[in-house]
Structure formats: C-alpha cells, structure tokens
Structure 1
Amino acid sequence: MRAGLRRIGFALGVLAGLAACETSQLAPRETGVPPHARPDGLKPVPSAEAPPRRRSLASKDLETYYSRVQADLLTQGLLRTDGGGPDTPFTDTMLVRNFERIALAEEYERGAGLRPSRGELSRVKKWLQPVRVTIEFGALVPEDQRVPDTNMVTQYVNRLSRITGHPMSMNADNANFHVLFMSEDDKAEIAPRIRQLVPNVSPSALELFDRLPRSIHCLVLAFSEDPGGYAYGEAIAVIRSEHPDLLRRSCIHEEMAQGMGLGNDSPSARPSIFNDDDEFALLTTHDEMLLKILYDPRISPGMDADTVRPVVTQIAGALLGGES
C-alpha cells in the first residue's frame, strides 16, 4: 500500500406492497366515445433529466496535491525508473533477508484495518490458481485516462506472468484480481463494490474506505481461498485516479506485486519498491528476483520461515551466482 511519502498493503429485504385497484361499477370498462384531448395547460411536464455528474473541487484539489508530491519526489532524485544499477548492489544473503521481511511478515494485523502488525514472520502467501485480471473505472475517472491505464495494467500483467511463470491474463468474464481506478468522487462506491466481489469481507476492511486519508495513495486487499488459509483466491487493488502518470503507474506496480504475495515493506530492501523511502517507482531487478523465489514450485502457501529459509537460500544463490 502506497501511503504519502511511504508505502503501506477485505440485508434487509424490503417488500413493497401494491394496493389492488378495482374498476368502479359506476363507469363502463370500455366505451365507444373517444376521450377529449387534454388541454395543453394540463399536460404533465416531462421530468428534467438529472444533470451529468462533474468532478468536485475536492477531486481537483487532490489532483493538484499529488502532482506536487510527484514533482517534489522527482526533485529529490526519487521515484527512479531504472530498476537499480551499480549504485545499488545486493547479495544473495540480502535477498534472503528481504524475502523474509517482505513475503513472510505482514504490514498490518489481519482483520484490524490499518493497525500495524508487530513484525513477526508469518507464512508464505501466494496464488495457486490462475490469476485473471480485470479493470474497473469509477464513473468520474477521466475518459482520456482509461486507455493508457488499461494498457499499463495489461503490459504489467504480462510482465508478472513472465517473471513468475504463473498463469496470469486479462479476463473480465471470470476475474479474481480486480483493479479499481477510483476518484475521490467515486469513493462511496468502493466499499459496496468490494462487498459485491467478496460478500463475507471483514467490516474492518471496508471501514478503510470511509476514512481514507490522502496519504494513502493506493492499496490492495488479498483474500485466501479458504478462511484462515494462505493460498490466494481473490484480490482487489484500489488506485486513486487523481495521481499523475508516474505515481499511478507506481501504484499499479506495487499493489499488483503485493497482491501476488509480496505484502510487506522493509527499510533495508534496496533497490526495491517495497521500501518506504520512495527511491524506486517501478518494479526493480531485486523485486523480480523476490517474485521468482516466491513462485518457485518448491515453495508452497503456508510454509513457515524455518521451513522455507533453506529453499530460499538455495534459489537466491542460484539467481545471484553464489554471491554472499
């Protein structure tokens, strides 16, 4: 979950009774006498169509705010898009450590909204079933943004599939990974839509959207196939449409990668988007290796740190040629 200058990752039935209208016995059901034309002054006035919704001042102000945030970060040399280089070396030992902090630890307590976790290592979380991605736009997301955003998500899905070797595709008919681009004016639609997609979603997860501060740039909710399980069956990423292009693309990269199982951040991870320092905007070579490790067939959902560590160490060594 990207948050401000740092990154952070769930009836009542109403019946209306209709009174029966019986035909009066004082007038015939049918008559051969044609009715008189109704005088013009008595004709019902057609109801005026509701004016189209327009973006609010709050949404425009948010757009200005995020543009300034992006400009400030770029001025500081942050939001790099080079994927890392000679100035950001890392070893297989560092990769193993970062995998444990990013893939095994959880940023927030399960079912507790934005309450930070205590940092304990949990278990491996990943997809076993194919990932089918679809995109939805809020009603007030600008039309000229929709095609570029769709292209960005489609290209990134293809990239994630190549990196992980896991089947991923764009599929609107049977989707299990929903990417929602929503403006401030569409905010009231988010919780109901999530409830439609995941009917048993935790109320604490939905509460996030009732008080979503502007410091939260985007977020992802991932749900296990079975209650309390670790194999994902559904994910929903929510991205603010008011972001300028690079921040919006950065949100796509981070939230979708987190929705694949890299759910936490670490201040020691570099070069990485899974770091609160915003140095990198897009998935790096380091992050690609984390995904390769996670989706290695030797690693299964639910494995704990002690069980998975020897396997991760072996894979990381192979990826980096045995550096330590």
Structure 2
Amino acid sequence: MRTLGAGAVALALSACVTSVPPQSAPTPRPAGVPSSTPAPSAPATRSAASLEMSRYYAKVQADLLRNELMRTDGGGPDTPFGARQLATNFEAIALNDEYTDVGGHYVARTQSSSLHKWNIPVRLGLEFGASVPEAQRAKDRATLSALSAQLGRATGHPISVSDRPNFHVLVLNEDERRAAAPRLTQLIPGLPKAAIRSVVNMPSSAYCLVIASDPDDDGAYTTAVAVIRGEHPDLMRKSCFHEEIAQGLGLANDSPRARPSIFNDDEEFALLTRHDELLLRILYDDRLKAGMQPDTARVIATQIARELMGESS
C-alpha cells in the first residue's frame, strides 16, 4: 500500500494515498452511494457479482490464515528490530511514494517524497453502502472507535471519530464502489480522473485504498478518503481499516523489508504492530514538519528512532 502522488493528491492501495487541489462547491450524493444516516431496516439487495466477491475473499482469508499469515500479535521475540532498522523503515515508508501518475493512470513506481502529515485534528467518519448489513456496520464502528484511540495514543495527535469527518471511511460493496465517482468528487473536489478510476476500477487484487488531499501542496493533509470492500470477511476488513487509515496519516509506502509491519505486502501481519506505532510516533514528533525534504527528515527521524529504542546516538 502506498500513496500516489499527482500534484496535490496522493493514492495508496493495499494487497495505497493521493493529494488533491483546493475544494470547490460540493455535488449532490447520488442514489446508492454511502450515507452516514442510520441503517435501513433491511439492507439493499446485493448483486451476484458482490456475492461472488464475498466467496472469493473468504477463500483468500482462509488461505492466508492456513499459511499462518495475518498475525494479530503485534510482533514478538521472532521479530526483533533496533533503531537502525526502525529509521530505515521510516525512510522507506514515510519518505517515498509507491504510485505516480503516468499519462492519467497511476502506476507502481517508487519515488522520493517530501514528508506528509496532518497539522489539524483528524476526524474519522464511517459511511456505508446501502447493502452493508447492520451487524457488519456495528463491527466496523467498533473497529474504528478502537483504532481511533490507538492511533491517538501512538501519534500524540488529536484523532477522533466524528459526525463531521475530514477523513472519510467508505465501506462499499462491488456495485456501490463502481457508482461512487460522484461521492468521491464531493468529498475531494477536483479529484483527478486517475484517482477516481483507481476506485471505480479497483482490481480484485487490491483489497482497499486511501486517497489523501494536500490542497496547498505543502505536505499538510486536510482531507482523506479510504475505500474498503464490504465483501471482506471480518479480519481482512479490520486489516484494511488499520492499514489504510495509518497510510492516510502519512505512512504512504510499503517496504518488503519492514518487519514486523503491516506496511509490507507479504500479509504476515493483519493489524498495526509495535513497530508501526513507533513509525507513527516518529512521523508525528514535532521535530518533523509537513513538507520537510527527505534529506532533512532522514537525519531527524534517525535521532528520534534512537531515542525511542533507548540507543545511544
């Protein structure tokens, strides 16, 4: 997963974050697109395609668990790491973008990036497609509430669940996601067509994604939208909440060497680990500023990593 950079938009996919231009007048929400209003008495009927996706992802999760992946223990004696590894992983994950816009399409191409983070309080909000049942909504609300508290502790930054969100989490089934373009442009006016296509045409190999808006192109996010497949079984869906929201806070890239970490496409870990919480602690240290260039941020992050790990400089 990682952030895609296109002007002031960043995109990140999981299995991605995007920065965007200043906001304009909102457009109306179309029928069938997520709403934060109370659940209807009976969910909308799901299509055959959505039901097939549920069967597919249930098998994916079962296969991952059978191979002892998607760990939820946060790492342990088998996953040691020190200050040098923590600093190296921070550079790879926070100071690089995984995606770039090439001819109107996002492609996986890692490139160096300035540091991105939120300077304003993060207000998380959930929206559900009409076909998402109430029992699933209740689980997702509980996940978001617990994760909000966890992220607040890890970062020291104000992060809460709100009915006036600036970080929107959309849980959509297949047909709802394909019809979500008007809602996306309402949430992030001026969103590039390439970012919209990444949501609408998201391949089955992509479990979820996040788009983050940096309207002044100065490294400071002000709005984000995470899109999570409603067809995922519980653990995969919870994993998407953890990874996409953390990436939308500024940890936009993945690294195959990051361990123990969810910022690694090997799926060994399903949920944020102690290592990942330390990456967030580094990112939101006041010594690191939004928009800081990699060469400057790298030196400061290395010192913070040594402090956190109790190692001498």
TM-score, normalisation: structure 1: 0.82
Deviations 1:47-83 (A, max 9, x none): xxxxx84111111110010000000000111000000
Deviation at 1:207, TM superposition (A): 1.3
Shift of 1:159: 0.9
> How has the CA–CA distance of structure 1 residues 273 and 69 changed in structure 2, closer, same or farther, with 3 Å as cutoff?
same
Which of 286, 307, 313 is matched with 1:318 structurally? 307
Is 1:297 paired with 2:286?
A: yes
Deviations 1:105-157 (A, max 9, x none): 0010158543112x232110000011111100001112211111011011101
Matches for 1:169-188 after TM superposition, within 5 Å: 169-173=160-164, 175-188=165-178
CA distance in 1, matches of 2:142, 2:286: 30
Paired position in structure 1 for 2:272:
283
Percentage of pairs with the same residue:
52
Q: Cα offset for 1:209?
A: 2.8
Paired residues of 1:126 and 1:301 also in contact (CA < 8 A)? yes
- CA distance in structure 2 between the aligned counterparts of 1:184 and 1:141, rounded to whole angstroms: 11
Partner SS for 1:271: coil
- Alignment partners' CA distance in 1, 2:201 and 2:233: 22
Alignment of 1:161 with 2:146, yes or no, is no
* SS in structure 1 at match of 2:141: helix
For 1:53 and 1:148, the matched residues in 2 are separated by: 19
Matched residue, 1:64? 55
Aligned residue in 1 for 2:64: 73
Letter in 2 for 1:7: A
Q: Who is 1:98 aligned against?
A: 89
**Which amino acid counterpart does residue 179 of structure 1 have in structure 2?**
V
Matched, 1:261 2:250: yes
Corresponding residue to 1:114 among 91, 106, 109: 106
Is 2:136 aligned against 1:128?
no
- Which residue does 2:133 correspond to in 1? 142
Separation of aligned partners in 2, 1:167 and 1:275: 26
Q: Distance in 2 between matches of 1:110 and 1:289?
A: 30
> 1:149-179 CA distances to partner (integer Å, 9 max, x unpaired)?
0110111011101110101111113x11000
Q: Tell whether 2:226 aligns with 1:218.
A: no
Matched, 1:234 2:226: no
Per the TM alignment, residue 8 of structure 1 is displaced from its structure 2 partner at its CA by 4.2
The counterpart of 1:195, out of the listed 160, 185, 190, is 185
Structure 2 CA distance, aligned partners of 1:169 and 1:210? 28
SS in 2 for 1:108: strand
- Gaps of at least 5 residues in structure 2 are 3-13, 19-24, 26-42
Question: C-alpha distance in 2, partners of 1:241/1:145?
Answer: 9
The separation in 2 between residues aligned to 1:102 and 1:209, in whole angstroms, is 22
Residues 180 and 200 of structure 2 are in contact (CA less than 8 Å); yes or no, is this contact kept in structure 1?
no
Larger Rg: 1
TM-score, L = length of structure 2: 0.85
2:205 & 2:122 partners in 1: Cα distance?
A: 29
Give the aligned residue type for 1:229: D
Aligned length: 281
Cα distance between partner residues in 2 of 1:160 and 1:85 = 20
